[in-house]
Every structure is written in C-alpha cells, then in structure tokens.
Structure 1
Amino acid sequence: MQLVWSWGVIGLILLCLEMMSGTLYLLWPGVAALVMALFSWLFPAFSLAWQIVIYAIFSVLAVAIWRKREQAHPAPRVGQAQGEEIGRQGVITVAVSPAQPGKIRFSQGVMGSKEWTAYADVDIAIDQPAKIMAVEGNGLRVAPLRQH
C-alpha cells in the first residue's frame, strides 16, 4: 500500500511543479505517476522494478500521444490574426524587395498597429498599394495590389 501513496505523491508533486512552470513538460509524467498509483492499487503484486518500467512506458506513451495530437491540431497563435486580416490593403512606406524587408502602413490599425514590417516575393515601390497575404511572426507577407 505504501507504493500507492508514493506514486500518488510523486504525481501530485509533478503536477504542482507543472502548474508553477506552465511548460507542459511535467504534466504527462505527473499524470503517468497518478495512473501508476491506481495501477499499483489494482495490481499490488507487481514489484517496484516492474512498476518503474510500466511508469516509464506510460510516460513515454503519454508524451508521444500528446506530441502527435499537437502536430495534427496546432494551437491557434494568440494575438495574431487567423485569416481575418488577409486581403487588407495598405500603402508601402519603405520599399520592399525579396532581399530586403520594408514597411507598410494602414489607414486603420491591423492587429493593434498601423505600421508593420513587410516582406514580399517581388519588388514593391514606395507609395504603391499592397495587400496582406500572410502573417509571419512580427511581420506581414504582402503582395502588390493589381491596378486596373
């Protein structure tokens, strides 16, 4: 019965450390330790050596499942547009080229700012209109606006 309590305490300590760090590194080993507490209560005949092996397997499986799920469903980027800013138009204030980022200005703020660093795959001159194609880190990928 002592191993049940030991696994439970280890799990709770890891979960408390996880809450303080907020990194998710200790979440799954903590959950695995709590699962081991339940496992050792249900199957007390397993030796400590076997329980440690099973704990390692639970921990690795939990992390692998979490990582696979994270890759399949990436978390939304907080504070950045999820497509609603794509297509917004602005004016280039510092020339942009594939080799050199420039600046783009908007009449109304885009995600909290009127001026952004602009990246482009083609040359765009000063005072030429451009539109947002994508949000890339702290800048915007832009393309020249076709003029009719």
Structure 2
Amino acid sequence: MNAFITDLMNTDFLYWHWWLFSVVLFIIEVIVPGTFFLWMGVSALIVGALAALFPSMETSVELLIFSLFSVVSVVVWKKYQSKNPSKTDHPTLNQGGAQYIGRVIQLSRPIVNGFGKEKVGASFWTVRGLDANEGTKVKIIAVETTVLVVEPVDEPVT
C-alpha cells in the first residue's frame, strides 16, 4: 500500500487527468444518484482548472485540494439540503399509510382485543384501537410501521 501511495505522489497529474476524472465521477453520479459523486466531480473540475493555471503545482497539493474541496462541498450540500428540503406535491409518497392519517373509514370487520383488519385504499391493513363493531366509523390517527392506529368518531366517512 505504501508503494502505491508513493507512486501516486510521484505521478504528474495534468489538468486533463483531473477533467477526465471529473467526467468519470459524473457518470458514476448518474448511475448511483445521491449527489455525493457530483460534488467530488465538481472538486476534480476545480483542481483541473487550478492545475491548468499553475502547471508546476505538485501532485500532493492537488490531491490535498481535491480532498478538501470534496469534503467541504459534500458537507455544505448536506447541511443546505437538511435546512431546505425539496418541496413536493406528494410529501407522504413512499411512507406507506402516512397518507391515510386523518381519514375516516367505516369498519367492514370488528376490532376485537384491540386489533382488526381493514381494506384502506388498495391494501389490507392491520388496525389497532378500542374494540369496535363492524360498521363503526373510525379515524386513522397514526401509523406504526404496518399498523393503522384508529379511534372511534362521529364524523362522516371520507
């Protein structure tokens, strides 16, 4: 491993090596999305531009700059994303039953000993709540993995 690092440090990287490396990283980003490789590719482009402007820059300095830019850009992007989540017209997409919270349904089967089965949407769900007879109107108040938590209500079915 030490020989590899020594050889790498003694290799002269030209600006176009960095640009080619950035293209490879962009292709990887397309195949494995997640914006991680995108920022590494941008960092490689920047280092390539610096290598073109300063051709005498040593490889160790180029690798250091690439590493720093990569880490900083990924961290900054992740912080930005956490503070500014993407807006969507389907915020509960891929969250199972979260889309059903607040919906009032009429039980087609009773809830016995706190549990029952009910078809909601296109799927059958386990429902948990107070024992209730068939035909009782219940409101879905929470989702716990694959269980809809319900409570009896006097509202119309939605």
TM-score, structure 1 as length reference: 0.67
Q: Can you give the 5+ residue segments of structure 2 that lack an aligned partner in the other structure?
A: 1-11
**Does the alignment pair 1:129 with 2:137?**
yes
* Aligned pairs (5 A) from 1:12-91: 12-75=23-86, 76=91, 78=93, 85-91=100-106
Partner residue, 2:125: 117
* Deviation by residue 1:114-134 (Cα, 9 ceiling, x = unmatched): x442455x4343533222335
Q: Deviations over 1:47-74 (max 9, x none)?
A: 2111111100111111111221232234
Of Structure 1 and Structure 2, the greater helix share is in 2
* CA displacement at 1:18 relative to structure 2: 1.8
**TM-score, reference length from structure 2:** 0.64
CA drift of 1:141 comes to 3.9
- Percent of aligned pairs with the same residue? 28
AA in 1 matched with 2:69: F
* Pair 1:48–1:73, CA change in 2 (3 A): same
The letter of the residue matching 1:47 is E
From the CA coordinates, give the structure whose radius of gyration is larger.
Answer: 2
C-alpha distance in structure 1 between counterparts of 2:81 and 2:110, whole Å: 38
Return the alpha-carbon distance in structure 2 between the equivalents of residues 136 and 66 of structure 1: 32
| Larger relative strand fraction | 1
Unaligned runs of 5+ in 1: none
